[in-house]
Amino acid sequence: MDVGDLRKALDQDATQIVYSDELCLAVASVTETTARWIAQNLSERTQLVDTFSQDGSQADIWSRLGAIWKSIALSFAPAVSSSTSSEDSRIYLALALAKFERNLLAGLREHQDEASAHESEIRLLLFDLTTFTRIEDPRFYTLHAVLTQLLSNMISPTSPDPEDARIADRQMALYLSGRREDDVIIRLLDALDPKTNLATLHLIHNTTRGSPERLQLLLSEAGLRWVSRILARMDLYLEAHDGRFELCHEIISQFISNSLHPQLLNSLSIPNEPISPSQTTLLKILDAYLSSSHPNTSCPPSSPHSFLVPMFHLLAGYASTSMANVPDDARLPKVFEGLVLVCEGLSSIGLAVQARTDDGVVGDGGEEELVRTMKDNDDTIGVVKPLIEMLRQLDSFLPRVKPGASSSSSSSPLAESPDTAPLAGLKRNLVQLVGILSFNDTAVGDLVREYGGVQLILSMTEIDESNPYLREHALFATRNLMHNNPANQALIAQMDPIGVVADTGEVLPLPEKMRRHGQDAHIADI
């Protein structure tokens, strides 16, 4: 490539370029063409930079870029003089220049070191371009996105080497210092343009990946604003199918893999609320993590997930009080959703511990201790009694829907709302957790019997149209409660037959003739 045209364009006085429509368009044309050439010849970028400085240029390429960026940033300041070139010309110039430098920087630490000297000009420009109505003006959308890509390429570490992370360390600390003018990231997360959101998420992911120290910065007051924005938009991003959801998931999953999620969950709480929307989303990500990432090895001495037990107590206590005393509690569906997620997380941990036991892996780590805590007979510590009490209340609050019956016949106000219908599955999750905890553990079976849970769970072996798979989990739990537990076996044996098994698997009432004459019937074998 002939560097002469590029050198001629950039060597002009930066102020004159910005004040002239003709020069804006001319410089933009040259840098746009060069940006496309660089994209196809990445290996020749260093030679291009060296040639620019050796062939009689007034200054090196980085100094020239810095001077032009400074003039562009000043031209977009709110109090700018009207004697500058047209706004459209300056947008075109800034966009072309951003593409050029973005491509020039990508993955090259030596170029990052040089370009970081004018990072403040890029940040100032982004600040002004996201001020007032500009953040909602479609004319600026592409410029927002490309400038964010440039900023990302300027500060993202190019390798795991700590030396390559110096710029990221410095700039992340600056962005999260709490000063409004330094935090352009929060504005970019609020942008309406999906490409700007995507570029911003890439920047956050690139700068926090593999660095617990920089990830820890996101737990600061300013960092939590970023994280809250990310969590709040994940449902929207999931529907978009454009990569934003996956990036959000990657960013939040880093907190879990670095055992920072208990601190994050606590920081996301809202005063006087049992659970916040951001906490719920974090629990969803934790649920996916726990259900898919359990190696068959012993765990660390302290489980980072131990907060799930006190959270279960908190949510179960709120739900119990609400169901008993607060009709039409608007918070209750979200509390139920939180309980579902907490139960699923605890179930995943219980299954992982049991899998290690079955494979002969002797473990005394944090997850094993967490399971022992769940089984504790002190109901302020363990979860067995709260599980049974919650099931008993739910059995009345969300009554069983018989096959063929309409769910609208339920007396529960929640059952009438399509938005809350899936939360009826909470009974299934509670019964599943009882079944997991009672597997090969007669002490848990004794506790369940003591709290009146054996008969309760046995009653849930009937089909419930509002609770798919509740019957299957209840059958599994009943099996575990009876296994090697003569007292539970005797209790069930004393119970009167409850009916005959239909072809559908439903337990139906005994026919009148059978009850009257005491004829033998095929009794449900639980």
Could you tell me if 358 and 301 are in contact, meaning their C-beta atoms sit under 8 angstroms apart? no
Q: Which residue's structure tokens are 């950039």?
A: 10
Do 153 and 217 fall within a single domain? yes
Could you tell me if 494 and 486 are in contact, meaning their C-beta atoms sit under 8 angstroms apart? no
Give the HSE-up count for residue 508: Cα atoms under 13 Å, Cβ half-sphere: 13
**What is the total count of domains within the chain?**
3
- State in Å, rounded, how far the first CA of the chain is from the last one: 81
Integer Cα distance of 332 and 311 in angstroms? 15
Could you tell me if 435 and 482 are in contact, meaning their C-beta atoms sit under 8 angstroms apart? no
The closest alpha carbon to 432, from 496, 383, 396, belongs to: 383
pLDDT tens, per residue, the chain with 526 residues: 789 999 999 999 999 999 999 999 999 999 999 999 999 999 999 999 999 877 655 578 999 999 999 999 999 998 766 666 799 999 999 999 999 999 999 999 999 999 999 999 999 999 999 998 899 999 999 999 999 999 999 999 999 888 899 999 999 999 999 999 999 999 999 999 999 999 999 999 999 999 999 999 999 999 999 999 999 999 999 999 999 999 999 999 999 999 999 999 999 999 999 999 999 999 999 999 998 865 545 566 789 999 999 999 999 999 999 999 988 899 999 999 999 999 999 999 999 999 988 888 876 778 999 999 999 999 999 999 999 999 999 988 888 888 876 555 555 555 555 555 556 789 999 999 999 999 999 999 999 999 999 999 999 988 888 888 899 999 999 999 999 999 999 998 887 655 554 555 455 666 666 555 544 434 344 3
Residue at which a domain ends, from 204, 238, 255: 255
What one-character-per-residue DSSP string does 14-43 give? HHHHHT-HHHHHHHHHHHHHHHHHHHH-GG
User: What's CA 388's distance to the chain center, in Å?
Assistant: 31
Q: Which residue's structure tokens are 């059952």?
A: 415
Range of the domain at 228: 120-255
Instruction: Give φ, ψ of 523 to 5 degrees.
Output: -80, 145
Do 25 and 135 fall within a single domain? no
Do 89 and 159 fall within a single domain? no
Any domain includes 507: yes
Do 214 and 148 fall within a single domain? yes
Do 135 and 249 fall within a single domain? yes
Do 159 and 224 fall within a single domain? yes
Do 100 and 124 fall within a single domain? no
Q: Which residue's structure tokens are 């099931």?
A: 391
Do 100 and 125 fall within a single domain? no
Q: No. of H helices and E strands in the chain? A: 28, 2
Do 44 and 132 fall within a single domain? no
Do 81 and 156 fall within a single domain? no
What one-character-per-residue DSSP string does 111-128 give? HHHHHGGGHHHHHHHHHH
Could you tell me if 397 and 314 are in contact, meaning their C-beta atoms sit under 8 angstroms apart? no
What one-character-per-residue DSSP string does 100-112 give? HHHHHHTT-HHHH
Could you tell me if 206 and 217 are in contact, meaning their C-beta atoms sit under 8 angstroms apart? no
Q: What share of the chain is helix, strand, coil (3-state, %, to 5)?
A: 70, 0, 30
Any domain includes 405: no
Any domain includes 11: yes
